[in-house]
Amino acid sequence: MATQSNLEELVNLIEKALRPGPLARLLGEGSDSKELVDLLTELFKSDATIPSASISGKINTVLEILGGIDSSPFAAIARSNLNNQVLITTTVGTIKGVITEVGNWYAVLTEDENITVIVNFANTLAIESEGPEGEAK
Amino acid sequence: MNNTYASRVATLIGQNVQVTTSVDTITGTLVSSDKTFIKVNTGGVDGSEGSKTVSILTSVVAYIRVV
């Protein structure tokens, strides 16, 4: 029995060595941290002891620790305001709406009348949110 | 650096969009999007008379509104 268990462990080790794990795949060349963020969100959501308001903070911490992912400093701020109404100031003007999605270099906002806007963080100057940073509305 | 923005914009290909830059706003059908250019077909049905394709540097786009 013990021999069989050791054999299974060995097979698992070989499989892991031959097949890149999820993190290696996510952090590989051309990776997009959105997939990683989605993965972490699901992971943290499964832990009922973590308040939903602090999930985005934990995700930001993990991303900072992992490093190496090229993203705008606005991505972390936007992520902590997911599903909140914000005012984003760009080089062209301001956009007011609810943040529905965040990527490394963009945020998707839903304006009044359900109009979708994709904001480029490369030309973003400021993000203004209501209330203390990261507070769930 | 902005490839993730371009990739997200690419999901809107075929839709009517307003591309806003610091100089102008271009309205039309999104044709393509990559890290260098976002291309919009303006002024009519693709291939018809008066139809133009505008290539906009992705790096100068502030935001895109789906209209």
pLDDT at B51: 82
Q: How many domains does chain B have?
A: 1
pLDDT at A13: 59
CB pairs under 8 A between A and B: 68
Residues B5, A105: C-beta atoms closer than 8 Å: yes
Q: pLDDT tens across B11-64, in order?
A: 999 999 999 999 899 999 999 999 999 999 997 665 566 789 999 999 999 999
ipTM of predicted assembly, 2 dp: 0.84
Which residue ranges make up each domain of chain A? 32-129
B51 contacts B58 by C-beta, under 8 angstroms:
no
| Nearest CB to A115 within list B5, B59, B65 | B65
Confidence of residue A52 (pLDDT cuts 50, 70, 90): low
| Strand ranges (E), B1-67 | 16-21, 25-33, 37-42, 52-57, 61-66
SS3 A75: helix
pLDDT at A17: 55
Q: pLDDT tens across B1-21, in order?
A: 555 899 999 999 999 999 999
For the cut 90, the answer to whether the pLDDT of residue A137 exceeds it is no
Fold topology of A32-129: SH3 type barrels. (2.30.30)
pLDDT at A70: 77
Residue B51: CATH number of its domain: 2.30.30.100
Give Cα separations from A53 to A58, A65, A99, A126, B47 (angstroms): 10, 20, 15, 22, 50
pLDDT at B62: 97
Q: Which of residues 1-30 of B touch A (CB under 8 A)?
A: 1-5, 7-9, 12, 20-22
Q: What percent of chain A has pLDDT over 90?
A: 37
**Higher pLDDT among residues A3 and B65, named by residue:** B65
